[in-house]
Structures are given as structure tokens and as C-alpha cells.
Chain A
Amino acid sequence: MDLVTKIIVICAVSALAIFALWRTGAKDATAPQQLPYLGGGTPDTHAWQRYHVRYYSMTLLFIAFEMEMMFMYPWAVVFVEEGGKAMMEMGMFLAILSIGIVYAWREGVFRWQ
């Protein structure tokens, strides 16, 4: 089957699925059904809200550690051939990364809130 046939088949199946959803799917919700579920109570404001994702700083810290590991695996292979030179380079890399971790520590990342 060549590429054009594949594309046509995928488009046809997608169109069919969308049509089926449109036909069988839920009709427009009425105003009482649009109310968020609060056990019978009502909200004051729209649910469109800005709030702080508190784990955000922790994900940045995770990336710092994860990048470290990502480079250390291929480095372990090279280390066998290169020896001390590779050791020095990895030491420099870790030093730079740990500055970031120390900075994050100062910013209170390790304090869960």
C-alpha cells in the first residue's frame, strides 16, 4: 500500500470517528448541568483560575539531577579509555551543576509547601 492510500484511509477513519462522536455525543449541557459539582453548593466565580503550581521549583531541581545522570552514562564508557582527563572534565561539569543546586537550596526548593 503506498503512502497516498494510507493517508486517505487515515483521513476517512478520522472523519468517520468525528461524525460518529458528533451524532452520538452529549448534546449541549443546560445551565444547571454546567454548574461545577460542589455537593449542591454554588461557586462565586468562574472556574477559570490562576494558581501556583507548587511543585514547579522541584521539577527544575529534578531536571538538574537528571541532566547529570544523562551525561554520566556515556561518560562512564569514555572514562575507561580516557582515564584521569575524563575524570577532571566530569568534575568541572558536576561543580557547575551543583552551583545550581546550591542556589535552589537557598531559594527553599527543599522545603515542601
Chain B
Amino acid sequence: MAVSALKRWAGKAPASVFVAIGEGMRERVERLFADPRIERAATPRHAAIFLIAGPMRLEDREDLRRLHDQMPHPRATLLWAAEVGEALGDAEKLNFTLQPADTSRADEAALDRLTRIWAELSDGERPSEPDLLHDEPPNPWQGIGPHGQGGKGMMGGTPYGRPMAMTADDLRDGLALDPYTARFGPFLPMFPPGLLLEMTLQGDVIQSAKVLRPPLPQAARDDASAALLRLARLLDLLGLPVLGHRARLAAAGDRPSSTLETLGRAIRWSGSTLAIRPGLGAVEGQGDLRTRFDDLLAVTGGSSAETRPELPESAHLSSLLPGLEWSEAMLVLNSFDDETLSALAVVKEDEDKDGHDHEGSGYMHHEHHGHGGHQGDGGHDHHAGHGGGA
């Protein structure tokens, strides 16, 4: 009785959807989530439906499989105009032809399908999808070593399959504490879709950053709406989601100038410019984050998006991000237009001096075997050895 009432209430709630955005789909997905029938989950742990929107790169498939398995049960996947081969098992597919005229009809079809999947999931009619990856820790550890920690010595173990961190100097003051190295992205909601960064952090300060995969190209309808969407993302990150939502609505609609003026005034009065440290994220020829924010704000006043001079050769995310706190870095990442960002996020081949490649080989291996995270092979064995041997 009580359980069936809970099921009924759950079915009426908006469907919680985690979305992985592919090529050219960012703007459409952002407009799709303006609908109250679905809500965008910040992480797969809060989602019931995994929406994969748009074409994906071959090397992103392994990450999609990992994200799929991080969702709690019951869960379902919807491939929206996405081609991922057999990587996601036999997930439900919804395709459309990319005709600009019938985008709203295609969006409506996607919304219908998402709400139907959610109703079926909450009713219990639809079976939950099983894990795609094997239930194995990245490194064997159980029952190994004198204390069962997976190795010998203080730092030698791999508890729960991962080595303990060794100490390294902090950029700020040389204090030697534990660095955290991980690959962030390619489907982190505050990242541009497709961008994969290998970053080392101490606390929340970025010590080093390396681009492993560039962001996926996105198609915007026109410059003004792209600028408004960019402004909306920055406002979300600054903790002003209501203003962000208004900017997003303005980007989607036909924008009467009075609405834009009111929006511009609301943003100016919020004092959000003052929350951005002067000189943050400064790039030669592009100004700092504050000037870029002001430029975007000027779009609400009716002026067209300003064209900035060419980027200097040396400008790159690997030199721009280190030293910034996580929140500042996310603002910086979202302040550039798509073209500038892809110029800043060029993959540099020569950086990885020890010849280890976290990408490529690991992924190809799995394409053949059709299983497993790339935790267990390639790059990660190297790191396990690093932890154990020191």
C-alpha cells in the first residue's frame, strides 16, 4: 500500500536525467531541459535515465560505459541521435534527421520518450539495466599483504584497488601534502562537452593540467544566442541560477529588447561582476574574465558580440589553469567562446615524456573485448607500480 503510493508519487515527479552531450547538441540539450517534465541531474548518482545526445567520438565510449554503471538502480539509457555501436548494450534509440525546421518536434519526441521511460521505471514495469563493466577492483587487493591492504609498507597498499597518494609540493607554499591526479571529463556538467583534462590538485587548487581530448565542436544558432547561453553558464557557476535560467530563455526566444534590458539590469544589480577577481584568467588579447563577462553583458544591451584578436601561440589551458582554485578554473573554462576554447585546448603530443598513453591503447583493447574499465590496464598499472615501489 505504502509502496504503491510512493511509486505513484515518484512517477509524477520530473524525470531525473543525466546527459552526456555530443557534437553540436549543447544548445538543443540546454533548451530541452527548460521543460518542467525533466530535470538535469548534476551527477549520474542522482539520475534514473542516462541521455546520450548526439554523435560521440570512438574514444568517449568507454567513459559512457563507466557513467552508465555509476547510476543507481533502476536505470535506463536513451540514445538520442547518438551512434555508439554496441558500447551501451541494447539501449533504447531515438533518431531524428537534423532539419532546422522540425527541431521543436524532435525535442518534443525526446521529451515524450524520456517521460515514458521514467513512468515505466517508477512503475517497475521496465527492468533495470545491468552493469556493463565487470565487478572487479582496478587492482587486486583483497587478502594481499600483511594487513590485507593490497601491498607491503605504509604507502605500498592498494586499498579498494587504488594506490595511496605520495606527497608532492604545493604550488602555493611548497607544503608537501597529497596530490590528487585524475582525468576530469569528458562529460562533467560544468565542463564544455567532450573536454577531457588530466589535472593534479592539492586541496582545490590546480597544480597542473593537460588536455587529453579537445571539446566537441558545437553549433550555435547565432552569435547573440551563443553569447547569452555562455552568460547563462557563467551565472549558474556564480550561484545565480535564476538569472541563468532567464538568460537561457532569452537565448531560446525571439528576444524583445525590453526583456534583454531588464535581464541586463538584473545581472548588473546582482553585483556578479564584483564576485570575479580582477585579472583572473587573463589571456593576451582576450582580456581577463571580468572584461569577457562585461562583453557578454553588453550583448543584453543590444550590441553584437565583440570579435577579439587572434590568440597568442603560447596561450593554452595547461598554462592558464594551474594555480587557480577549482571554482575559478570552472569560470575561466566557461568564459571563452567555442572557437577560442578549442584553440586553447589543443592536444599537445610531446607533453607526456614517459611515453605512457592513458588514452588510445586502453580504449582499443576494450573495444575488442567489450568489457572492463580502463582502470585495470595500460596507464593504471604504471601508477599502481609507482605507489607500490616507492
Contacts and interface: CB of A to CB of B under 8 A. Distances in A.
A31 B387 CA distance: 20
A113 B328 CA distance: 13
Contact of B374 (A30, A42, A50, A113): A42
A39 B197 CA distance: 11
Contacts of B175: 52
Contacts, number: 126
Interface in B327-381: 373-375, 380
| Interface majority SS (helix, strand, loop, mixed), chain A | loop
B183 interface: yes
Contacts of A31: 133-138, 161
Contacts of A39: 63, 67, 184-189, 191
Given A48-B164, A49-B180, A41 B373 contact: no
Interface in A22-61: 26, 30-52, 54
A30 B69 contact: yes
Contact of A37 (B20, B45, B165): B45
B63 A45 contact: no
A50 B184 contact: no
Contact of B181 (A26, A44, A52, A54): A44
Contact of B70 (A35, A43, A45, A46): A35
A106 to B, nearest CB: 16
Nearest to B362: A42
- How big is the A interface, by class? 20 to 34
A39 B192 CA distance: 11
B135 A32 contact: yes
B27 interface: no
A47 B134 CA distance: 21
B160 interface: yes
Contact of A52 (B133, B138, B164, B170): B170
Interface of B: 20, 43-45, 60, 62-64, 66-67, 69-70, 72, 131-138, 158-165, 170, 172-173, 175, 177-178, 180-189, 191, 196, 202-203, 373-375, 380, 383, 387
